[in-house]
Amino acid sequence: MAVAQRKWSALPVPFAIEVPDRVPKERYYDPAFYRMEADLLWPRVWQMACRLEEIPEPGDFAEYEILDQSIVVVRAEDGSARAYQNACRHRGVKVVEGRGTLESGFTCPFHGWCYGLDGANTFVSQRRTFSEHNLEPGDIDLTAVRCETWGGCAWINLDDDAPPLRDYLEPIASILDAWKVESLRTEWWYACRLPANWKLAQEAFVEQYHVLETHPQLRLPGRYPSRQGSFDPKVFVESELEYLRLMSEGMAGMVHASDVRIAEGLAGIELPDEPRAAMDVWNRTLNHEVTRRHRELGHDMPDINALQDQGINEPMAYCFPHYLVLPMYSSASAYRFRPLGPEETLMEIWSLTRFPVGTERPRPVPPEVWANDDERWPPIPAQDFSNVPRQQKGLHANGFHYMRLSEKNEGHISNYHRVIDAFLAGLPWERLVPAMRSVNVHPLEVPVLDLEF
């Protein structure tokens, strides 16, 4: 679906970001603004539709829904991933639902029209009853949707004029390639229905300003030694181990349990008395041991110290507009956000880890969707989920008009909102892509940037 390109001034954007560090509250609940996003943002952006391990064999399919659009991603006979609009060309019935395996292509459950894995129509029941103009070759094939793969996932885009996926995702795509994220596999997959706007939901996870207040268990003495005062290397190591345990247990695996055990095996390490030197020795020793142990197990594992030398060893990765990857040591968490309404969001969380190359893994099972206050949530996301609905409610206060962002610590929120405005105004891709390179980055503590719009 080609999208008409407009000049910036051709379409006014309501509640636009006029002061970069102030975000008008209406952007998080106004129905008209939500409709503009549905019409002008989501049909143009690349979206993570499914993990490739959900469709490992030819004929395996996964349905991806965004707003009122249903897309089916299928593994073709040649091993590629392809995507189609999930609507029979006869009377629009969805040809599949959910996930499964097609034994002999798509068959519409209503009247039996059939399609191959390549989307081509292969059968029309009672064909002679139709006029020729309704059965023109090619016109009755499933409507193809752009589909490309990267990072262990299939991505779709409804805009035929959008740039290639890799161009769209840089520079974070190259950074995550260095992390070998394509080798990660699902260990578990959770989902949450949040009573909040999709942008508000993700903003709780792209800044660190909230951490010490929202997650008081992370206030660990001795973890950030300074040049002033005494420094005890043993206290520092104990704090590091406690932090890793909290990130493993409190986040249900942001640091994988296997990496925690490796760190615990280093508890008796001898460290220098100088704080910065001690931190460096600890980090490089742990990085080395995690890399070595996982490679011994046959995992496709990057050299974490080499990543550290490149300055990309903590690359919380933001992929505009709705997908995040958070690698830590051998593994990673991934988040995906999808709007269900102006004030409702589906958030999904994956725990991704490494297995020996060639090991067969079961297909991930789509999760039961839990409420934000479900008792099964691990402690840290439960704390985040307690804030977000309260914030959504607070935005409706008559005396509250806009968010006041920290120019240095919460700049990413301003940056990606202004990119949204550029989509809503209909800017052409040659102006969008440079700005997106400023948001497809590590989002924490990014300052407000000049996006040159």
- Each residue's pLDDT tens digit, 331-384: 999 999 999 999 999 999 999 999 999 998 999 999 999 999 999 999 999 999
- What crossing angle do the helices spanning 275-296 and 257-264 adopt, rounded to 10°? 120
Q: How far is CA 258 from CA 217, 265, 328, 335, 380, in A?
A: 22, 11, 12, 22, 20
Mean pLDDT computed over 230-259: 90
Residue the block writes with tokens 């039996």: 112
How far, in Å, CA of 329 to CA of 352, rounded?
Answer: 11
Q: Does residue 160 surpass a pLDDT of 50?
A: yes
Residue 314 confidence (pLDDT): 75
Contact call for residues 146 and 47 (beta carbons, < 8 A): no
β 369-371/185-194 pair status? parallel
Burial class (CB in 10 A: 0-12, 13-18, 19+), 182: middle
Residue 244, H or E segment: helix 233-245
Q: Percentage of residues in the chain with pLDDT exceeding 90?
A: 87
Contact call for residues 302 and 291 (beta carbons, < 8 A): yes
Q: Starting from the edge strand earliest in sequence, which strands make up the sheet with 153-157, in order?
A: 47-51, 153-157, 144-150, 81-85, 69-75, 60-66, 99-101
How far, in Å, CA of 59 to CA of 75, rounded?
Answer: 6
Over residues 5-18, the pLDDT tens digits come to 333 445 689 999 99
Mean pLDDT computed over 281-292: 97
Least confident of 141-155, 227-241, 435-449: 227-241
Of 342, 250, 327, whose CA–CA distance to 290 is shortest? 327
Over residues 173-228, the pLDDT tens digits come to 999 999 999 999 999 999 999 999 999 999 999 998 898 888 888 877 766 665 55
Residue 201 confidence (pLDDT): 97
Residue 394, H or E segment: helix 379-394
Look over the chain and give the mean of its residue pLDDT values, rounded to a whole number.
93
Do the domains spanning 8-41+182-209+316-436 and 47-157 agree at the CATH topology level?
no
Superfamily of domain 47-157: Rieske [2Fe-2S] iron-sulphur domain (2.102.10.10)
Burial class (CB in 10 A: 0-12, 13-18, 19+), 156: buried
Residue 11 confidence (pLDDT): 66
β 144-150/60-66 pair status? unpaired
Q: Does residue 4 surpass a pLDDT of 70?
A: no
* For the chain, domain boundaries: 8-41+182-209+316-436, 47-157, 215-309
- DSSP assignment letter at 250: I
Domain 8-41+182-209+316-436, CATH class in plain words? alpha beta
Residue 8 confidence (pLDDT): 43
Q: Does residue 259 surpass a pLDDT of 50?
A: yes
Mean pLDDT computed over 105-111: 96
Longest dimension (CA), the chain: 89
Q: Does residue 229 surpass a pLDDT of 90?
A: no
- What crossing angle do the helices spanning 233-245 and 275-296 adopt, rounded to 10°? 40
| Dihedral in degrees, nearest 10, Cα atoms 170, 171, 174, 176 | -100
Q: Does residue 252 surpass a pLDDT of 60?
A: yes
Which band of pLDDT confidence, cut at 50, 70 and 90, is reported for residue 287? very high
Residue 435 confidence (pLDDT): 94
